[in-house]
Amino acid sequence: MRVVRQTDKSRSRRHMAVRAALAVLAGAAIVSGCVQDGPEVRPAPGQQAPLKAPPARALDRYAGRLSADLAARAAAAKEWGLKSVPLRPPPPPVRKPDIVTREGFEVDGHAEQGLPPVFTTVPTEHRIVFLTIDDGAEKDPAFLRMMKELRIPYSAFLSDYLVNEDYGYFKRMRDHGVALNNHTLTHPYLPALSYEDQRTEICGMQDVIEKRYGKRPALFRPPFGNYDQDTLHAAKECGVKYVPLWSEEVFVDHWEYREWDQDLHPGDIVLSHFRGPEDWQGTMPDMIRRFLDKVTAQGYAVARLEDYL
């Protein structure tokens, strides 16, 4: 009797201690989910809502999910040869940031005519970057598996002349939650084309993506990042809302930077390409390793671009 009672007591004491620790852990997770490593935001005195303790059982389940999630991500990071486990991004913002055209990237009448904004960074205080991958030449199944297992979000900007070799590959990508966006039908230098031809390139790709994948993209990226006033007019007519360019480009063996400080910044859009050993000295997973190792080492998480637009 005594032994059983003692065991029960010590077990219940242990349970209480574990729950107290979990309550602290859950609080910390919520705080870090909001603020992460960015500048600390303190509520005004007296404005902080009292923390409600969730029921113990729910807290146990929550902690269980947290540790299972961390274990799965740690195992995936090890399997794919990353130097450290990628950081988790904060939850999508409740209020989306105002996206405006970057200074020096405007065309005549840009704002007055409501043309889609052209930008290279999303305004945010969170230490996050966005990964965008262009064209569609390399269709490596290992890349799809890697991104799914690591749970790294990214956005694809597709050109039909490459995608049409295997529409099914990008359907699998879409089924993993990746947004498929517009990068024209044939990847031309758009400013050399007439308005009508630009419209055909952009609207034509909108039609392909809608027909094959069920959704008309809101995002369009002009090939080589080159555009003129006609490009943005045509894009608007085709239903495009945003024209994201990029701040950095990651290759299999190096990074390139747009800014003078040669560094990452909160909200930066990073460009890469679907390329394989025929195009550069490595595979898609090699490129992703280079991308994630730097991003994680500098305290950044990878967030989903569409969540911020």
Positions that interact with Zn ion (CB under 5 A) = 134-135, 223
Minimum CB–partner distance for residue 227 and Zn ion (Å): 13
Nearer to Zn ion, 106 or 249 (CB): 249
Nearer to Zn ion, 84 or 189 (CB): 189
Minimum CB–partner distance for residue 262 and Zn ion (Å): 23
Minimum CB–partner distance for residue 207 and Zn ion (Å): 19
Minimum CB–partner distance for residue 87 and Zn ion (Å): 28
Secondary element (H or E) of residue 212 = helix 195-213
Nearer to Zn ion, 116 or 266 (CB): 116
Q: Which residues pair with 272 in a beta bridge?
A: 133
Minimum CB–partner distance for residue 136 and Zn ion (Å): 9
Minimum CB–partner distance for residue 179 and Zn ion (Å): 17
217-to-208, 243, 259 alpha-carbon distances in Å:
10, 11, 29
Nearer to Zn ion, 135 or 268 (CB): 135
Q: How far apart are CA 174 and CA 210, in angstroms?
A: 12
Nearer to Zn ion, 90 or 223 (CB): 223
Q: How far apart are CA 166 and CA 303, in angstroms?
A: 27
Name the token pair of 65.
């999910």
Q: Which residue number has the CB closest to Zn ion? A: 134
- Of 190, 34, 187, 200, the closest CA to residue 118 belongs to 190
55: Cα within 13 Å, side-chain hemisphere: 3
Q: How far apart are CA 88 and CA 145, in angstroms?
A: 18
Q: How far apart are CA 101 and CA 110, in angstroms?
A: 8
Nearer to Zn ion, 63 or 160 (CB): 160
Q: How far apart are CA 296 and CA 87, in angstroms?
A: 6
